[in-house]
């Protein structure tokens, strides 16, 4: 960095997936930003592996969904979840999940993809870097900041040179993970159940492991024995035979050097096998939410504000939702079409979404506990053990397996009490984690309906209509759109008016006029324009 103090509109601290997504969103929206990251940006072994359907929709919105599909995890590989006594033992039940080549789901033009972080983060890095207004600065650590009425000044250390430097910005966003220095510097506390336990991740290479152990392909294998649901085995990279064994619980004082990897592996595989150990780490399973997502000129996103058990794959995926929500609001504010109340809506919308993710992930984790009793004969031959396995199978697939059926959680969140959405008097829908009920109710995600039928090149979805500015879908009088267009033009608000005649889409949206935000959430809907269109546009943009 140069000697003179740098000045940027937005300074992002942390180059994990959430910081990268925010940088990408700002770049895509035409906003200049600087991201600083203390590490070198290389992901050696992944934490995150599942990019869920909603996150894939964000990738589609940015035009990078194809890149996620193009990663080395084979498209035809089944994503099944398999409960078993050991990898060489009895299969107890299977949660069927389609392979990656199934691109769309009933409610989305995209589908959850297995794309581990050592592939996903570089896609986000490349995408963010493709914008000349985005700078990613690695080996640079945030230390502290001071805030004034005009902006913030952050002190950072360039770890390569050791030099301490200052950066001035209009806004500071901490995407710096669980131990967030920005959160601590802003005095924001975490609340919740806290520490749920310590887990250990062991990465190894084992060619032909499934063949050796006699199991049909799947992606996630859960051994169950007299210790209950005690671990899981995930195939990370089939082409390179890379696996991860995660042991759910170790003692709080366990040190990496004292972990008996071979013993854990023998227990999971049900046999001895020589493998190439690649990496090991111990991590804290937390259930916490920040008391605030920021205020003034300082905001927080991702693990800095919500730390969840990985059960349900809601960590990064919730963080990407934060990045999109905050990203368009910062862009609107900096470009002048967002009002002074817009940024305060970030906390009001995303904190309940974070609470929902923390609560759900914690419940999924609890479903794995308390399984040990009465399972001594689970791996034995005989009618009594057959019956025990059958009984356990139902519970495993239907209860423990719930964390793999989360379409409601992924797509069904609604910003109920948002100050920038205009309620239409319809009652809230049931918030069922498993089942998503499409609805264009204000606050919710605008539903997906195909505009053109999907073919081998995909198809066009209603979701493809939403973008950097607002979109008004008109199912009725063409002249209604003109009223909005004039009011938007007077406010320099980017607004696309789209006239749609297709009945299926009109039925799904249930209103002749539906105003959709840049993040694809519905801001307002009705059968006729409001009496004061300008006042409504002001409200949904935070004026
Ligand atoms: C075993 C496991 C499996 C998981 N699987 C999934 C999954 O399948 N799907 C899912 O959605 N989530 C999953 N998660 C959760 C997911 O990994 C996290 O939610 C996600 O990584 C959070 O992203 P983030 O960018 O907020 O934070 P992080 O990934 O923690 O990134 C924060 C970055 O900030 C940097 N940083 C910190 N302090 C500073 C500083 N002072 N200055 C500069 N840089 C700093 C750090 O170096 C780091 O790179 C999993 C987690 C675990 C542990």
Give the orientation angle of helix 17-28 with respect to helix 53-62, to 10 degrees.
40
Cα→Cα distances 139→41, 46, 286, 414, Å = 8, 20, 27, 38
b/e map 477-508, b = 16+ CB within 10 Å:
eeebbebbeebbeebebbbbbbebeeeebbeb
Token pair listed for 486: 């004039």
CA 314 to centroid of ligand 1, rounded, Å: 12
- For ligand 1, pick from 11, 16, 117 the residue to mutate: most ligand atoms within 8 Å of CB: 16
- Ligand 1 atom with the shortest distance to the CA of 180: 38
Instruction: Specify whether the CB–CB gap between 518 and 468 falls below 8 A.
Output: yes
Instruction: Specify whether the CB–CB gap between 228 and 368 falls below 8 A.
Output: yes
293: how many CB neighbours lie within 10 A of its CB? Answer: 26
CB burial of residue 391 (10 Å; 0-12, 13-18, 19+): exposed
d(CA 531, CA 533): 6
d(CA 351, CA 290): 8
CA 284 to centroid of ligand 1, rounded, Å: 12
For 204-232, the DSSP string reads: EE-TTHHHHHT----SEEEEEETTEE-EE
Around ligand 1, the residues with Cβ closer than 6 Å are: 13-19, 36-39, 47-50, 141-142, 175-177, 181, 201, 246, 283, 302-303, 310, 313, 315-317, 319
Q: Return the pLDDT at 321.
A: 98
Token pair listed for 3: 């000697």
d(CA 184, CA 171): 17
First to last CA, the chain: 37
Nearest Cα residue to atom 53 of ligand 1: 47
CA 319 to centroid of ligand 1, rounded, Å: 9
What are the residues whose beta carbons fall under 8 Å from the beta carbon of 531, sequence distance 6 or more? none
Q: Return the pLDDT at 488.
A: 98
Quick check: helix, strand or coil at residue 23? helix
> Pairing relation of β-strands 6-13 and 33-37?
parallel
- Ligand 1 atom with the shortest distance to the CA of 175: 26
Widest distance between CA atoms in the chain: 78
Instruction: Specify whether the CB–CB gap between 13 and 175 falls below 8 A.
Output: yes
CA 328 to centroid of ligand 1, rounded, Å: 22
Nearest Cα residue to atom 35 of ligand 1: 14
Instruction: Give the phi and the psi of residue 412 in degrees, each rounded to 5.
Output: -95, 10
d(CA 534, CA 378): 67
DSSP 8-state code for residue 401? G
Residues of the chain with pLDDT under 50: 1-2
Q: Extract long-range pairs of 54-59: CB within 8 Å, 24+ residues apart.
A: 54/108, 54/317, 54/320, 54/321, 54/410, 54/411, 54/445, 55/316, 55/317, 55/320, 56/108, 56/110, 56/111, 56/112, 56/113, 57/108, 57/109, 57/110, 57/463, 57/520, 58/21, 58/320, 58/324, 59/110
> For the chain, how many residues are written?
543
For 38-93, the DSSP string reads: SS-S--SS-S--EE-HHHHHHHHHHT-HHHHHTSSS-TTS---EEEESSTTS-EEE
Q: Return the pLDDT at 259.
A: 96
Q: Return the pLDDT at 222.
A: 98
Instruction: Specify whether the CB–CB gap between 311 and 365 falls below 8 A.
Output: yes
CA 76 to centroid of ligand 1, rounded, Å: 28
For 472-521, the DSSP string reads: EEESS-HHHHHHHHHHHHHTT--EEEEE---HHHHHHH-SSEEEE-TTSB
Q: Return the pLDDT at 375.
A: 92
* pLDDT tens, residue by residue, 340-354: 999 999 999 999 999
Q: Return the pLDDT at 104.
A: 78
Instruction: Give the phi and the psi of residue 287 in degrees, each rounded to 5.
Output: -135, 85
């Amino acid at each position: 960095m140069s000697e003179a103090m740098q000045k940027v509109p937005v300074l992002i601290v942390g180059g994990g997936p959430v910081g990268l997504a925010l940088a990408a969103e700002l770049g895509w929206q035409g906003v200049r930003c600087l991201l600083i990251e203390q590490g070198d940006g290389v992901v050696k072994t992944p934490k995150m592996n599942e990019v869920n359907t909603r996150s894939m929709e964000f990738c589609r919105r940015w035009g990078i969904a194809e890149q996620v599909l193009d990663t080395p995890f084979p498209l035809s590989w089944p994503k099944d979840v398999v409960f078993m006594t050991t990898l060489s033992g009895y299969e107890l039940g299977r949660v069927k999940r389609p392979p990656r080549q199934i691109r769309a789901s009933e409610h989305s033009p995209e589908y959850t993809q297995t794309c581990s972080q050592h592939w996903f983060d570089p896609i986000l890095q490349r995408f963010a870097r493709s914008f000349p207004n985005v700078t990613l600065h690695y080996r640079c650590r945030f230390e502290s900041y001071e805030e004034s009425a005009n902006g913030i000044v952050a002190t950072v250390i360039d770890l390569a040179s050791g030099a301490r430097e200052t950066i001035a910005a209009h806004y500071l966003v901490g995407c710096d993970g669980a131990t967030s220095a920005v959160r601590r510097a802003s005095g924001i506390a975490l609340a919740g159940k806290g520490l749920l336990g310590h887990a250990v991740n062991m990465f190894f290479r084992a060619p032909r492991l499934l063949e050796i152990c006699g199991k049909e392909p799947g992606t996630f294998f859960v051994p169950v024995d007299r210790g209950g649901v005690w671990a899981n085995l995930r195939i990370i990279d089939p082409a390179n035979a890379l696996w991860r064994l995660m042991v759910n619980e170790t003692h709080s004082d366990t040190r990496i050097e004292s972990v008996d990897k071979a013993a854990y592996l023998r227990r999971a595989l049900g046999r001895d096998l020589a493998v190439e150990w690649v990496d090991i780490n111990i991590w804290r399973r937390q259930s916490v939410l920040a008391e605030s997502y920021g205020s003034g000129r300082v905001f927080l996103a991702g693990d800095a504000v919500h730390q969840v058990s990985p059960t349900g794959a809601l960590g990064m995926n919730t963080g990407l939702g934060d990045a999109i929500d905050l990203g368009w609001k910062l862009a609107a504010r900096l470009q002048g079409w967002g009002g002074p109340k817009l940024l305060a809506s970030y906390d009001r919308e995303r904190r309940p979404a974070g609470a929902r993710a923390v609560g759900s992930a914690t419940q999924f984790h609890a479903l794995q506990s308390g399984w040990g009793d009465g399972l001594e004969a689970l791996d034995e031959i005989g009618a009594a053990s057959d019956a025990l396995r059958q009984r356990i199978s139902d519970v495993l697939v239907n209860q423990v397996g719930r964390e793999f059926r989360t379409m409601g959680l992924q797509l069904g969140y609604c910003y109920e009490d948002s100050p920038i959405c205009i309620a239409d008097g319809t009652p809230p829908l049931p918030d069922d984690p498993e089942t998503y009920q499409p609805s264009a109710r204000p606050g919710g995600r605008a539903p997906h309906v195909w505009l053109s039928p999907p073919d081998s090149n995909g198809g066009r979805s209603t979701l493809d209509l939403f973008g950097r500015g607002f979109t008004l879908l008109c199912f009725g009088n063409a002249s209604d759109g003109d009223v909005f267009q004039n009011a938007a033009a007077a406010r320099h608000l980017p607004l696309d008016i789209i006239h749609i005649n297709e009945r299926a889409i009109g039925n799904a949206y249930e209103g002749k006029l539906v105003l959709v935000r840049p993040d694809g959430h519905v801001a307002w809907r009705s059968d006729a324009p409001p009496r004061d269109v300008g006042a409504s546009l002001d409200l949904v943009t935070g004026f």
